[in-house]
Amino acid sequence: MNGRTLDRIAFVASGADDAREARAKLSERYGGVPLDQADVVVALGGDGMMLLTLHDVMGRVVPIYGMNRGSVGFLMNDYREDDLPERIAAAERTVIHPLTMRAKDTAGGVHVSKAINEVALWRQTYQAAKFRIDVDGKTRLSELICDGVLVATPAGSTAYNLSAHGPLLPLASPLLALTPISPFRPRRWRGALLPDRAAVAIDVLEPEKRPVAAVADNTEFRDVRRVEIALDRKTSLVMLHDPGHGLEERILAEQFGW
C-alpha cells in the first residue's frame, strides 16, 4: 500500500447470515468507523456486495478490501479473521474506471447512471429487440436483432459478458467488450472489441412495438429508445487483493479454466 496508513476501517456486509456474523466478529475485534469516515472499507459478502460497496464510495477513492462470505466471490479475498490490518497493508491495488450510461426513454426522460461491470440492454417482452449501433458517431451495425446487447469493462468481462459468450479482457487492456445476447440477425455476429476511449450509442428500433430496458449494473430504466455509453476516466475505484491473488491474475486464470 506504498506506506499509506489505513487505520480507520469500516465494515459492511450483505444480508447473508455468514456476512453479518463476520461483520460482528471483525467489528468487535478491530473496531470500526462509519463508511464516510473510513480510510479503507472491508466488504463482506459476494461479488454483488463488492459492486454495491464500490458504488457507495464512488467519487471518494476509498480502497475496498473484500472478503468472501457469499457464493461466487470472484472479486473477493479469502475470508480470514486473523491479521486483517497486516493483510490490508500488504494488499495489491487495482484501479478501475466505471462506465457512464445516458439513457433516453420513449417519454422524453433522460437517466444517467454508472456501471462498474456492464451496461446491458434487453427486451422487455417476448419479441426480439432491434438495435442500431454507432461507435464514435459512425454506424457500425444498422440492424441487430437479438435478446439484448451489452458493453462491458475489463473488470466486468468475467460477469454477465462471459455468460453471454463475450471475451475475457485483461484488466490493464484499453478495451471494452461489445457483446450481443442471443443474436438472431446477423446470426454469426459475436460482438466486437472496442478501444476504451470509444463512445457507443445504441438506438432501439421500433421501441413502442419492441420495448427495451437498459441496466447499469443493478440500476434499471425501462422503455428506452437510445443509450449512450462511455468510460468515465475521471472516476477511479480501488480494490485491494492479497498478493498473488489480484484481479489481473484471476482473469488470467479464468481463461485456463481455474
Known binding-site positions? 47-48, 117-118, 147, 155, 158-163
CA distance 42 to 104: 36
- CA–CA distance, 122 with 212 (Å, rounded to integer): 5
The span from the CA of 139 to the CA of 150, in Å, is 17
Which residues make up each annotated binding site for NAD(+)?
47-48, 117-118, 147, 155, 158-163
Write the DSSP symbol of residue 130: E
Would you say 149 and 180 are in contact if contact means Cβ atoms under 8 Å apart?
yes
Query: Catalytic positions, please?
Result: 47
Rg from Cα positions in the chain: 19
Report CA-CA distances (Å) from 112 to 57, 58, 138, 195.
Answer: 17, 15, 23, 22
Cell, residue 181: 445476447
